[in-house]
Every structure is written in structure tokens, then in C-alpha cells.
A and B are shown apart, each in its own frame.
Chain A
Amino acid sequence: MTRLTVQGLAVSLGGRALAAGVDLCVEPGELLGLIGPNGAGKSTVVKAIAQLLPYRGEVRLGAWRFDRIGARDRARAVAYLSQDDQLQWPISVAELVALGRYPHRSGWGGALGAADDAAVATAMRAADVWTLRERRVDQLSGGERARARLARVLAVEAPLILADEPVAALDPKHQLQVMALLRAHCAGGGNGIVVLHDLTLASRFCDRLLLLDEGRPVATGTVADVLTAQHLHDVYGIDAVTGVHNGQTYIVPWANRNNA
């Protein structure tokens, strides 16, 4: 019941089109990878879906039109992880993760209930920050902070997760862990969109991909449909090595086209 459909999404800022003609559909249980070079409009599309930017077009989750439901209902339905880490005050990891429960609280400043505490604990364990829960966020490494922020997103328990480059600051072990977490979320009936620069991770973990270039969709479909040599050449200007492991196609960017 929580299929995400986006039709004719367009965002412009000061007369310049940042994204246009974006259609996508993410079924329950599916993880969509949003890929494209720097400046392709990936973050813009994700922010528009999260209703953080004015846009034209239609965004629906199940029967709901996102621009017509209240902020609180929307906040329970969509969890958003921004690209840049903007944590300001040195609160503890547990306090940070608990902020994800805000849309579920009753009334102004209501205290957390048992269900909230359980959700916060589950999210911290899943993101491997349980042992860090008393630590202040300014005393964490980059990778620990990224996982703590992801735990905050998981604590919302929203059916749809929008994650903008969640693995940028992480070592390989934690990159795999974060991607596995997003997969697990989808396996539990949720759906997600993840913005990625790492095409190997995108090919490994995403059910389908949407390739953007200069604000416009170039290709959408399975990994094999989207990460073709032609698309990689046209959009990224690179050559890649393709392989198959356990029946799954993966790619590794190999060389810039011009000096190949």
C-alpha cells in the first residue's frame, strides 16, 4: 500500500531548471538507486520528494498526495537523511536518535513512551551505535556520526526512507553495513531511494536505478539496463568493468574515457 509514485517532477530555482520530467515509481520492498554525476539533480529530486523544495508535478505515497497531507503525517511516512552532516550542538547519540521519534510524540514536547524507547534502541542496535549511545556526537569519528545519523532516520520507522549519499564518509565495512540496513528496511516491506556516487554499491544493492544527467532522467530500470557501457560513457565519461558474482551483475568504474 505504500508504493511511491512521482510524475512529471520539476524543480526550478530563479528561472534555472534543476530537475525536469522526472517520473519514478518505487514499489514496497524496493530500493531505488539515484545515480548521476555531480550536479545532475539527485539531491534536488530527493528533497522535492521529501517536500523540502517547491516543485511542480505530483508525488504520491499509496493514496496520499504528499503536498496535501499535514506535516506530521508526512513526517511519519517519510524519513529523510540529508547529504551534509549539519549537527550543531554536542548532544549524545541516544538523544540524537530519539529526535527521530518527534513525529510520533503526543502534544507539545511530550515525553517519549515505551514504544519510542524501543524504536530508538532498535535503531541504535541496527546501525551499530548502541555502544556509543552515551557519547557526545562531537566526539565521534566521521563514520560513527554517519551511522548515528542513519539510526536517527531508522528511528522514525517511516515506510519510505530517502537517503542522500549515506555512505560517503564510511569505510568499506560500514558502507556495506549501511547498504544492508537500507536493504533490510525494504525487505521488511518498506521502500527507499538512495543517492549514490559509488556505482559498485549501486549495482550490488539496488533493485532498480534511475540515472540522471543535468536534471533529466537518462535511463531507468535494472542494473543491467542502466549501467550500460553507452550510458556510462555518455553521462560519466568513463569506462567500467562488468562482472557477475552469484548471478548478480556488478560494475567497477575503471578509467576515464578520454585517456583510456
Chain B
Amino acid sequence: MLALHATLAAVLLVLSILSLGLGAAPMGWGEVLGGLFGTGPEEHRIIVRQIRLPRVLLAWLLGAALGMSGAALQGLLRNPLAEPGLLGISASAGLGAVLALYFGLTAFGIWILPSLAMAGALGATLLLYALTRGGTSNLTLILAGVALSSLAGALTSLALNLAPNPASVQDIVLWLLGSIADRSLADVGLVLPFVAVGLVLLMAAAPALTLLTLGEAEAASLGVQLPRLRGLIITGSALAVGACVSVTGTIGFVGLVVPHLLRGLVRHQPGSLLLPSALGGAVLVLGADLVIRLLDTPQPLMLGVVTALVGAPFFLALVVQSRRTLP
């Protein structure tokens, strides 16, 4: 298990250094490191610290949030096809951001859009929590999530439909596609505390998640408090994913794919899957972001588009596979 963590961390480190070295201004590795650690000239320091570093840090936070939330939700719902997008948290955060763009509120300050997005995520969380409070089952949670997701999607479409001018449509669409390019350290600072708290909440759920392997009734008989566990995971996912979506736009499938790829390496123990999924998510987001920067396309590719392009066929393959293994 330790070897897996170390391997993922090493890959993440290598990808991070590669990402810092890649950009419009050609720089040598010595210059990049000099800029990063503040020993080089100011120009290098600005390029590396202000432009390239936020991209890397955001990839870490986004990947960790999506990966760990996906692993936790799959464990909680005992369903390998669950992911943060399923509960409508991403879509609701997206709706908040779209409303900010639609009403042109972004002109009043750079904090407006992230704040509204997080308000969307928070609203979705409270609604989910209210709907699933008490003795309801995880199936209710999934159904409520699907309903919420559809509603947020419908309202987003409505905003696009009624958008007053093509420029705001363009803004909304580009934001919805999802990207970690051209973000600042201020964005990172905005996201960091929420992701940190969210991940801590999710990690606190780890032992109980492993017990859920037995089913809800037997897990409860062993002392797992299901309402508390649901609360931890819904809140943790909403904080971490909602905060990321507020800065990066919606990025799908990372939360689905990463836990899947790593599950066999942790002997299928849901609790042990959380940390590797966070690291793996960061590796995947950073890797995907590197790939789209290396590809020569007429328009810069958006990260959310690429993760969906890779993730959707993967999802289909999973469905086909589960059809084969289930009776």
C-alpha cells in the first residue's frame, strides 16, 4: 500500500515539474527551478510562480477532490458507477457560476462567480441532506442526486436559451467546458481551504466505508452510524468539488475513472482507496492538462472536453463489463 502511495506521489511530482517547464516562454530546467525557488531573475519568478504554478496546484486540488469524492461516493453508495457528478453537486455549482455570467455579475468583482458557484454546491448539499435525512436508504440519495442534476442542467440550458447576447453565451459555454488554464494564485487560495476541509471529512469516513462492504444493515449492526456517514461524505464532496468547480468549471469522469483504475491495487478495500484516488486524480488531471497543451489544435483544447472524451467510452466499457459479470 505504501509503495502505491509512493509511486503515485513520484509520478505526480514528475508531471508537476514537466508542467512547470512547459509554456509559451522557452525556459531551461535550471531557470524553471530558479524561478520556482526564488533564486532566479524576477521575470522567471513571475512566469513560474504567477502563471505556471497555479495551474499545477489547481490540478492537484481538482484531481484530489474529484478522485477522493468519487472513491468515497462509490463506497457509500456501494455502486462502482457513482461519481460526484451523479449527486448533482457539480451541476449545481455550475448553475451558480452560469447565473453569475448570465446576469453579468462578474463585472462587480472576481469573487462573485466562485461565490455563487459555491453557493450552488452548498444549496445542493443542503437539499440532498434534507431529502435523505432520517431512515432513508442510499437509493433515495441517488434518485435525489439525479433529479437535482437534471434540474441544474435544465436551468443552465434555460440561461443559455435566454442569454441576452452572443458574448455571454460564449462566456457560459467556455466556462462550462472546464479548464485550469490562466488561473491565479488567488484562485488557488480560494479553493484550498474548502478542498482541505472536504478531504479531511472524507478521510474520516474511511473505516466505516470499508464496513459498508457488508451492506447497510450489517454495517449498522457493527456500529456504523449511517446518517452521520452520509452527512460526512455529502458535505466533504460538496465542499471539495464545489470549490473546485467554482474556479475550473465542470470536469467530469475523473471521479469515476480513477477509483476504478486503482481499486484492484488496494485489494478492493473502499477505505484504503481514498488516498490513492486523491493522488491518482491529481495525476490524471495534470497528465490530461499536459497532453492538451502538447497537442497542436487550432483552438486550445478545454480540459473538461478531453476528460469527457476519454471518460465516456471508459464508462461505457464498465457498463458492458458489469453486464458480463452480473447474472
Give A contacts to B, CB under 8 Å. Answer: 47, 50-52, 54, 71-72, 74-75, 78-82, 84, 86-92, 95-96, 99-100, 102-103, 105, 108-109, 136, 152, 156
Known: A54-B135, A99-B211, A109-B206. A80 touches B221 (CB 8 A): yes
Minimum CB distance partner of B263 in chain A: A89
- Chain B, residues 134-145, CB within 8 Å of chain A (1/0): the string is 010000000000
B204 touches A108 (CB 8 A): yes
B221 touches A79 (CB 8 A): yes
Minimum CB distance partner of B272 in chain A: A109
Of all A-B residue pairs in the complex, the 6 with the closest CB atoms, nearest first, are A86-B215, A75-B223, A80-B221, A89-B268, A71-B223, A88-B78
Contacts of B267 in A (CB 8 A): 91-92, 95
Q: List 25 A-B contacts (CB under 8 A).
A: A51-B221, A71-B223, A71-B224, A71-B225, A72-B223, A75-B222, A79-B221, A80-B217, A80-B218, A81-B218, A86-B214, A86-B215, A86-B218, A87-B215, A88-B212, A88-B215, A89-B263, A91-B269, A95-B267, A96-B214, A99-B214, A102-B223, A103-B223, A105-B207, A109-B271
Among B206, B211, B270, the residue within 8 A (CB) of A102 is B211
A259 to chain B, nearest CB (A): 34
Minimum CB distance partner of B216 in chain A: A86
B217 touches A91 (CB 8 A): no
B213 touches A96 (CB 8 A): yes
Q: Does B210 contact A (CB under 8 A)?
A: yes
Contacts of B206 in A (CB 8 A): 108-109
CA distance A51 to B210 in the complex (A): 21
Among B213, B215, B225, B263, the residue within 8 A (CB) of A82 is B215
B223 touches A89 (CB 8 A): no
A91 touches B268 (CB 8 A): yes
CA distance A87 to B212 in the complex (A): 9
- Chain B, residues 255-273, CB within 8 Å of chain A (1/0): the string is 0000000010001111100
Contacts of B224 in A (CB 8 A): 71
Contacting residues of chain B (201-251) with chain A, CB-CB under 8 angstroms: 204, 206-207, 210-218, 220-225
CA distance A102 to B267 in the complex (A): 18
CA distance A152 to B271 in the complex (A): 18
CA distance A123 to B281 in the complex (A): 39
A156 touches B78 (CB 8 A): no
B213 touches A91 (CB 8 A): yes
B78 touches A82 (CB 8 A): no
Known: A91-B267, A91-B268, A91-B269. A100 touches B222 (CB 8 A): yes
B300 to chain A, nearest CB (A): 40
B165 to chain A, nearest CB (A): 50
A51 to chain B, nearest CB (A): 8
CA distance A86 to B216 in the complex (A): 9
Among B207, B214, B215, B263, the residue within 8 A (CB) of A108 is B207
B268 touches A152 (CB 8 A): no
B215 touches A52 (CB 8 A): no
CA distance A51 to B214 in the complex (A): 17
Contacts of A74 in B (CB 8 A): 223
Contacts of B78 in A (CB 8 A): 86, 88
CA distance A258 to B83 in the complex (A): 54
A6 to chain B, nearest CB (A): 17
B223 to chain A, nearest CB (A): 4
A48 to chain B, nearest CB (A): 12
Minimum CB distance partner of A50 in chain B: B221
Contacts of B225 in A (CB 8 A): 71
Minimum CB distance partner of B217 in chain A: A82
CA distance A102 to B212 in the complex (A): 12
CA distance A162 to B139 in the complex (A): 26
A103 to chain B, nearest CB (A): 5
B135 touches A152 (CB 8 A): no
In addition to A96-B213, A108-B207, 10 A-B residue pairs with Cβ atoms within 8 Å of each other are A71-B225, A72-B223, A75-B221, A82-B215, A88-B212, A89-B268, A91-B267, A91-B269, A102-B207, A105-B207
CA distance A108 to B210 in the complex (A): 12
Contacts of B271 in A (CB 8 A): 109
Contacts of A47 in B (CB 8 A): 217
A87 to chain B, nearest CB (A): 6
CA distance A175 to B165 in the complex (A): 73
B220 touches A52 (CB 8 A): yes
B48 to chain A, nearest CB (A): 38
CA distance A84 to B152 in the complex (A): 37
B214 to chain A, nearest CB (A): 6
Contacts of A51 in B (CB 8 A): 221
CA distance A136 to B267 in the complex (A): 9
Known: A89-B269, A108-B207. A103 touches B222 (CB 8 A): yes
Contacts of A102 in B (CB 8 A): 207, 211, 222-223
CA distance A158 to B269 in the complex (A): 24
Contacts of A152 in B (CB 8 A): 214, 218
Contacts of A84 in B (CB 8 A): 215
B15 to chain A, nearest CB (A): 29
Minimum CB distance partner of B225 in chain A: A71
Contacts of B270 in A (CB 8 A): 89
Contacts of A92 in B (CB 8 A): 267
